[in-house]
């Protein structure tokens, strides 16, 4: 059973039974950090692992089986974004579990002479539910532009898959104080021509580039501030209801030691986990974050 992640304010007297089922301590703590929340938001947390270019087949199968077991009582949704060659075999391991299968990239084209590329149709045919777009490694190492990321995002959505669109600033940009501006520009470009209805299939992953693979996790305050700015941007670009519904993950050196405090923040609805998702025990603890 999925547990709804809810944030309680004064308006929470109108809370749903799902929200009411949650332990109040976390939300009381989270709610104390926001001045006024006009309505109650109920969002299901999503913890996703991004294996990047790691594992060989036997390792992938073992790790997937461990994630499946660890996720049985997890408080939110769980997904793993695995290398292309292992998608189909991992899909079989995950069958009947709550763990969603994700890919780390896709082509913006449907089919044809694109040597080495992988289409959304291919991903669907092997059981994928999620696709990452705009990861900072695709941006910096593979030179993906905002325009290309937008094409890929729209391709994922039009295929009926869920898209985890990644955004995040460089170290210099955080130091310059331009984080919100950089992230807003990435959102505007990545979500160009994405309708409010389609936004329902989008998860935003805020991944500060300086925190990825460095062991430098953003503080809960830094992450919360940027997540709130992202939600505010979505409110302006779409609507308050769309902003309220949007699941925003934090990514960047998330560990079992940092996940609970991050997840206690009112606008942090999940985590996108790299290194720690490759270690079964660590990822098991992260998916079972303490609310
Ligand atoms: P790390 O958790 O290794 O920092 O990676 C984060 C990331 O890039 C997930 O997409």
Q: pLDDT tens digit string along 96-108?
A: 999 999 999 999 9
Pocket of ligand 1 (CB under 6 A): 50, 135, 207, 212-213, 251-254, 272-276
Give the residue-averaged pLDDT of 74-101: 98
Pocket test for ligand 1, best of 251, 253, 259, 271 (most atoms within 8 A of CB): 251
Q: How confident is the model at residue 9 (pLDDT cuts 50, 70, 90)?
A: very low
Q: How confident is the model at residue 109 (pLDDT cuts 50, 70, 90)?
A: very high
Q: How confident is the model at residue 30 (pLDDT cuts 50, 70, 90)?
A: very low
Mean pLDDT of the chain: 89
pLDDT tops 60 at residue 6: no
Classified by CATH at the fold level, domain 44-287 comes out as: TIM Barrel (3.20.20)
Q: How far is the CA of 287 from the centre of ligand 1 (A)?
A: 15
Give the residue-averaged pLDDT of 149-167: 98
Nearest CA to ligand 1 atom 1: 274
Give the residue-averaged pLDDT of 268-275: 98
Active site residues: 135, 207
Q: How confident is the model at residue 29 (pLDDT cuts 50, 70, 90)?
A: very low
Pocket test for ligand 1, best of 273, 282, 287 (most atoms within 8 A of CB): 273
Helices 57-70 and 280-287 cross at an angle (nearest 10°) of 30
CATH code 3.20.20.70 region(s) in the chain: 44-287
Q: How far is the CA of 211 from the centre of ligand 1 (A)?
A: 8
- Report pLDDT for 26: 36
Q: How far is the CA of 198 from the centre of ligand 1 (A)?
A: 26
Give the residue-averaged pLDDT of 22-42: 41
């Amino acid at each position: 059973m999925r547990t709804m992640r809810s944030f309680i304010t004064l308006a929470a007297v109108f809370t749903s039974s799902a929200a009411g089922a949650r332990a109040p301590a976390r939300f009381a703590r989270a709610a104390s950090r926001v001045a006024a929340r006009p309505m109650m938001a109920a969002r299901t947390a999503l913890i996703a692992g991004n294996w990047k270019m790691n594992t060989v087949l036997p390792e992938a199968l073992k790790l997937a089986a461990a994630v499946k077991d660890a996720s049985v009582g997890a408080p939110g949704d769980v997904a793993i974004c695995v290398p292309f060659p292992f998608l189909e075999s991992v899909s079989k391991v995950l069958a009947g579990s709550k763990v969603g299968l994700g890919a780390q990239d896709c082509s913006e084209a449907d089919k044809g002479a694109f040597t080495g590329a992988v289409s959304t149709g291919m991903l669907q045919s092997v059981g994928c539910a999620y696709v990452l777009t705009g990861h900072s490694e695709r941006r910096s190492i593979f030179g993906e532009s905002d325009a290309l990321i937008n094409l890929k995002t729209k391709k994922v959505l039009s295929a009926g898959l869920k898209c985890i669109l990644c955004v995040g600033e460089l170290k210099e940009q955080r130091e310059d104080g331009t984080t919100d501006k950089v992230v807003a520009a990435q959102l505007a470009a990545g979500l160009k021509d994405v309708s409010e209805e389609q936004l329902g299939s989008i998860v935003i992953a805020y991944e500060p580039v300086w925190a990825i693979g460095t062991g430098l996790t953003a503080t809960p305050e830094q992450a919360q501030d940027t997540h709130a700015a992202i939600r505010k941007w979505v409110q302006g670009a779409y609507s308050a209801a769309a902003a309220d519904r949007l699941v925003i993950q934090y990514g960047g050196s998330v560990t079992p030691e940092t996940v609970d405090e991050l997840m206690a923040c009112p606008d942090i609805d999940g985590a996108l986990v790299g290194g720690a998702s490759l270690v079964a025990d660590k990822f098991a603890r992260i998916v079972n974050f303490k609310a």
